[in-house]
A and B are shown apart, each in its own frame.
Chain A
């Protein structure tokens, strides 16, 4: 009961934060000199182009005072209208653009974080248990590489090797555009292709995702492994682990049953925030592999100062981050009974 109350309270507390972020991004984007059309027509516009630009500015109300524009925007937003694209895909509603790319991001993030968490926790535990052995050194070496290697560089090396040299994997795009379109049921392509039984398209997507997911999980793996290792090392020294040993618990149980759950909290944080970060878009990886997901949309929008798209992507990113924080806090309570709300 108190858990429900706590959650509701936390969600209510988020409302002012979300509005704050919305207003700030709105005002900041409008303070960028010029307007989207000015960028579109280039440095030496003809008079007719200038005339057209002014018409557009008039039409979209871009020369109204900023607060008036904000008011109009909020009104639009509450009626479910997130605006339309002015340049990138002129006339397309922002909402449908996001619906195009966001599921891709979700797919990539789920896969990468899932793989990274699974392997990272195992590796971290093994590293802590075999502290200062060759195994530990080996795992720590890879974890350190994950921290040190820039993701785009890793991506390029992979593309060069597996895409260009060996020709095993497609090096760019999310799927092969020549394939028949897949009906959008869940919007997650891997699932949609499976539901419709389109195994060719499914396999095609899998192949396209292997390298980007590998890159992202490699980077996240590093953080999760290091965190698991250090918090396991801490817990393994504690008295109740000794109690478990004194009882005659098998080493396996000592580690998995007694130590690991206690070591989990910092790991939950790393995993949760990593996932939230990926959902906001993985700009470098997406650009390297031309995946056209959230990160790339955000960058395109910023490059052509598409006000409504910038606002929308940042707003969604904020929602994801604050929800991730809330979920992390709730998971704490499940993992550790001492934490109560």
Chain B
């Protein structure tokens, strides 16, 4: 407990100096989200602090089960029992989300903050056409645009009808050979005229257009299908479309590209980037893939077992990862070189810790090559390094004079804490 508060207050001061960009959109302070299950308390998010600036993409990376999705869900207050946000603040534009009521959250979800979910198989409603699910977003959040579109469409319809009338009159007076072409023209116009145009039609049209833009062929037919009639990749793109359609200030993408092949993945990343450029909104991008982080993000937070262990600009961290866990993650990226085909992929030894009984001190210590006595006792706070990167690791403590504390642990000593 001690170490967590220390962690927070220290990192806070340092972050304030480190973010020189144009202001903070989202400021998460010492967030704790626990699940009170029958087996015990799952400390899924345990003292996480980070910030997202305006017009920035922050990557969140970490092994499976380290609490990435729970962090994201907390930002929308979508944690359901037995889970609970125990403490901490989530300041969005200076407004604390944690203290908001469910009614107030309705105005935030989809409007200010949107989330694309990780699992496209289960995240779409199986008994609703995907077009309806997508159109719902437009109807909820872009009513003004839709109304404008509706007026335009109705005017066009009216013009078409007037044209039709005029042509029919002409037909009565025209010569027999001119009549043939006129008749064809009339037929073409008739096809374009709609009997009635509703706001739902507009929402469907927008949906189809969006699907088209994110590279789904035959968008017009796809909007009339049910989720089970689509492939995993198609479903994932529907999810992405739902996120993009919201146009919100903060877009949370929870591994949106995992089920997609590389080409589509690249397209989606381009879209997110483009959207960001156009709307100047911010993105929290959750992924397992460091490659995607490198391509897309401005800054990255590396998460391990409910804590953020390294946090800073992408280039700096990729150039010189400092936390042993980050180093391990980098080592686990397959590289397409001749040497790498011959050498084995480096894997971080050991298991992801159990979040009910996490190891004391630094949660990574049972798996860390550099683990020291102090690592077992004190969870290291995030500490600002010279290249604007923050790291939570005792290797970077300034005062290492206490030799008992900074003695390296043996393998057996490291395993003592593992359950």
Contacts and interface: CB of A to CB of B under 8 A. Distances in A.
A262 B124 CA distance: 12
Nearest to B112: A248
Nearest to A259: B125
Interface in B114-154: 114-115, 117, 119, 122-128, 136-137, 140-141
Contact of A246 (B109, B125, B226): B109
B106 interface: yes
Contact of A248 (B110, B128, B226): B110
A245 interface: yes
- Report the interface size class on chain A: 20 to 34
B224 to A, nearest CB: 11
A248 B126 contact: no
A203 interface: no
Contacts, number: 73
A258 interface: yes
Interface string B89-118: 000000000000010001111110011010
Given A247-B242, A338-B126, A242 B110 contact: no
B140 A246 contact: no
Nearest to A251: B102
B136 A243 contact: no
Given A245-B109, A247-B246, A248-B109, A262 B126 contact: yes
A243 B141 contact: no
Interface in A214-269: 237-240, 242-251, 257-258, 261-262
B127 A239 contact: no
A248 B141 contact: yes
B78 interface: yes
Contacts of B78: 242, 245-246
B90 to A, nearest CB: 15
Interface in B65-99: 73, 76, 78, 80
A336 interface: yes
Contacts of B73: 242
A249 B117 contact: no
A244 B123 CA distance: 9
B228 interface: yes
A65 interface: no
Contacts of A337: 126-127, 226, 228
B210 to A, nearest CB: 14
Nearest to A236: B80
Contacts of B114: 246-247
A247 B124 contact: no
Q: Is the interface of A mostly helix, strand, loop or mixed?
A: helix
Nearest to B127: A261
Given A239-B119, A337-B228, A246 B76 contact: yes
A337 B230 CA distance: 13
Contacts of A244: 125
Contacts of B117: 239, 242-243, 246
B110 A258 contact: no
Contact of B228 (A243, A245, A258, A338): A338
A242 B106 CA distance: 13
A249 B136 contact: yes
Contacts of A243: 117, 123-125, 239, 242
A56 interface: no
Contact of A239 (B122, B137, B246): B122
Interface string B238-261: 010010001000000000000000
A248 B80 contact: no
Nearest to B239: A243
Contacts of A261: 127-128
Nearest to A245: B78
Contacts of A239: 117, 119, 122-123
Contacts of B80: 237, 242
Nearest to B126: A338
B73 to A, nearest CB: 8
Interface in A272-286: none
A335 interface: yes
Contacts of B115: 246
Contacts of B137: 247
Contacts of A238: 122
Contacts of B102: 251
Contact of B125 (A237, A240, A250): A240
Given A248-B111, A250-B106, A242 B140 contact: no
Among A237, A243, A251, A338: residue with most chain B CB under 10 A: A243
A240 B76 contact: no
A244 B128 CA distance: 12
B140 A336 contact: no
Among A245, A250, A335: residue with most chain B CB under 10 A: A245
B286 to A, nearest CB: 14
Nearest to A240: B125
Contacts of B228: 337-338
Contacts of B239: 243
Nearest to B252: A246
A244 B126 CA distance: 12
A258 B125 contact: yes
A245 B228 CA distance: 21
Contacts of A258: 125, 128
A261 B126 CA distance: 10
Nearest to B125: A240
A247 B76 contact: no
A240 B111 contact: no
A335 B226 CA distance: 13
A335 B137 CA distance: 23
9 contacts: A239-B119, A240-B122, A240-B124, A242-B117, A243-B117, A244-B125, A248-B106, A338-B127, A338-B226
Interface of B: 73, 76, 78, 80, 102, 106-111, 114-115, 117, 119, 122-128, 136-137, 140-141, 226, 228, 239, 242, 246
Given A242-B123, A246-B115, A262-B126, 15 more contacts: A237-B80, A239-B117, A239-B119, A240-B124, A242-B78, A243-B123, A243-B124, A246-B76, A246-B110, A247-B140, A251-B102, A258-B128, A336-B127, A338-B226, A338-B228
Smallest CB-CB A-B distances: 7 pairs: A248-B110, A239-B122, A248-B109, A240-B125, A337-B226, A247-B110, A239-B123
